[in-house]
Structure 1
């Protein structure tokens, strides 16, 4: 991964800790990119904290529970059970809270003037969010970054755990798959990264799931299927498949016992296995609805149904997601959310959209002029849900009528309480 710019800072860090000549007494891990932090931690453990001595040499400490004086004292004291000590120190922001902290920083300076060569301090500054382009860093984060650099820069190495660039994430997916002898189609890699908002921790998790999916043995056309059926008395009965003779195949012969796998991840695999990729089509549908683009909305509806495993039978699930999306837009509109980062403050855990959809959903919510328009949309979805649960003759017509109603400017009508439908959304 040395050729990927987003991984350069971590790669330099891993190279430095591999040699005593370049190892510094301490490092600051700046940023909240969990995937890169995980790579750093694994490299440190593999290089400096072998498993047989890890219980004696690895210390996970928190500045909110343990004072910096105690941490420095522990780093300075040699261990009788292990030749080297590794100390991960979380909550670095505690050092930059209220008060001057003169005594704390004086103790840090005193330690680093004569550090223990058999100890490594790793300060974790995960309260900072570092974007891919450092020029776009939030002003408050930039101030915090500079303050840490001013106070610890003379003694510590800095490892920037910034957000991974989308193109680098795509390259990581394809090259990592190739290293495992699996072909990852470029359009599939882009869809995976786009649908997860270039969140590397999520990408890595879904990546492993996809590789397991395509690596699972599949049924060969040359396989002989034998079914052993037993009657209640335990006597084997003959099955028609016992005498099944496979049709000769023209495919390349395989060695005995060799598993037959796809060894390739396609766009269809990503759309099948990754929930966020399925949701992308739904947000495109709500975008067309909010823009009152009826032809595009109908096309997207049919595409969504065709891509669903259950087709029209999956309509209830699509309605649930539509209702959920309009409820999210209603809250965004009521709270007047303009910045995607503020969404995490107004939408609770379990009710948030995927990262890639945050900005789009804010834009869609702003197209609605009032709260009444959004509540009308929720009522229309509720009415369609009631119709579908009443076993209509044609589910597709119910869905098409719903999309046309949602994509049409509402006409002023007198309030009619009979239009209220109870529905658990």
Structure 2
């Protein structure tokens, strides 16, 4: 089930006896777990009825035994199984042995008084394993993969409602861009903007621009965007601002190389027929970042991107060997890409 749908179900009080939370977006897993605990247990109950077992330190049978234990003072018990590597195809190098037959038996007949939560923060589960099939059949499965654009926007709107504010469409787009679609950072910024504007307020793109700071990576993205559009004055201004923030030119150049390499890779994969989701998985990037890179990459021919990467590589070499001043080198790089002005 999708992240947003799982959250809605929990908020309505529809709590399953088993949860299998998987995927590489750690914020999604942690946010779901936090809501689940909050929904099932009061603050006072957590001291007695909340148990956590790290599978690198405890055998699974200990967690199963705890799950069968009747909750203190009635109510519900929550048992959390962390780093359940045996749900994936990877092999654990630790010395802890686990009796998975006991886990299978529990997943077939879970205790009605217990919410059994399995955390498997991996890219893929081993669908051939019986414990994976049983957990999905008798419980609730969360796909904690990075959210795609549509779900990202729905998530922002939902967070806005929770904070009693409304987001304009272009404000949502700008927030996602400035934060690099990082959910934890987005949640923090939404909270901050909501406090600033007050209940019932409308959040605009201008407000997001004013209140949400750009990360170094986002400044590099904007700098590259200036190169793409041949708005070199914009790129130069961003570069000088980064220098004022004590960022090293060599580091800036390295990040520029990384961004242009992403553009080239996205362009190549797109030409080979890869989807946005497939490219994100292949390049280990967020799907929204791939989308933005694709928009930039379309402005270049293959040979132009290779030319930019070659120029950046030569510039890096000349700076490191003392052949040219680092600030002058970047200025020459930008000047080479400035539009020719008619006289």
After TM superposition, the score normalised by the length of structure 2 is 0.69
Q: Between Structure 1 and Structure 2, how many residues are aligned?
A: 307
* Matches of 2:164 and 2:17, distance apart in 1: 39
Structure 1 match to 2:160 = 177
Residues 1:262 and 1:8: Cα distance change in structure 2 (over 3 Å): closer
Q: 1:375 matched to which residue of 2?
A: 317
Separation of aligned partners in 2, 1:157 and 1:323: 48
Partner of 1:223 in structure 2? none
Q: Is contact 2:87-2:132 (8 Å) kept?
A: no
1:201-350 paired onto structure 2 within 5 Å:
201-215=184-198, 263-276=201-214, 280=218, 282-287=220-225, 289=227, 296-301=230-235, 314=241, 316-317=243-244, 320=247, 323-329=250-256
**Structure of higher RCO (CA pairs closer than 8 Å, 6+ residues apart):** 2
Work out whether residues 185 and 267 of structure 1, in 8 Å CA contact, stay in contact via their aligned partners in 2.
yes
The Cα shift of 1:61 comes to: 1.4
In structure 2, relative to structure 1, the CA distance for the partners of 1:58 and 1:34 (3 Å cut) is same
Instruction: Determine the C-alpha separation between the residues in 1 that align with 2:260 and 2:86.
Output: 35
Q: Which has the higher helix share?
A: 2
Alignment counterpart, residue 105 of structure 2, candidates 110, 121, 125:
110
TM-score, length of structure 1 as denominator length = 0.57
Structure 1: 5+ residue runs without aligned partners? 129-140, 216-260, 306-311, 345-351, 386-398, 409-425
- RMSD of aligned alpha carbons: 4.5
Q: 1:78 aligns with which of 70, 81, 94?
A: 70
The answer as to whether partners of 2:166 and 2:200 remain within 8 angstroms in 1 is no
SS at 1:144 equivalent = coil
Once the two structures are TM-superposed, the CA of residue 67 in structure 1 deviates from its matched residue by 0.3
Which 5+ residue runs of structure 2 have no aligned equivalent?
A: 266-278, 298-304
The structure with the larger Rg is 1
Check 1:319–1:110 CA distance in 2 against 1; reply closer, same or farther (3 A cut): closer
Listed one character per residue, the Cα deviations across residues 117-149 of structure 1 (whole Å, up to 9, x for unaligned) are 222211011122xxxxxxxxxxxx2x6355463
**CA distance in structure 2 between the partners assigned to 1:173 and 1:58 by the alignment:** 30
Return the offset for 1:203: 1.2
Is 1:356 equivalent to 2:338 in the alignment?
no
**Is this contact kept in 1: 2:135–2:141, CA < 8 A?**
no
CA pair 274-212 structure 1, distance change in 2 beyond 3 A: same
Taking a change above 3 Å as real, the CA distance of residues 198 and 331 of structure 1, as seen in their structure-2 partners, is: closer
2:23 and 2:235 map into 1 onto residues whose CA distance is 40
Matched, 1:167 2:150: yes
CA offset digits 1:30-64 (Å, max 9, x no partner): 22334433442233223321112210000121111
The CA distance in 2 between the partners of 1:327 and 1:116, in whole Å, is 54
Cα shift at 1:211: 2.1
Q: Please give the per-residue CA displacement for 1:162-187, whole angstroms capped at 9, x wherever unaligned.
A: 33232333344345435645443321
The alignment partner of 1:275 has SS state of coil
Closer, same or farther in 2 for the Cα pair 1:366/1:36, shift >3 Å? Answer: farther
2:35 alignment partner in structure 1: 43
Greater Cα offset, 80-89 or 58-67? 80-89
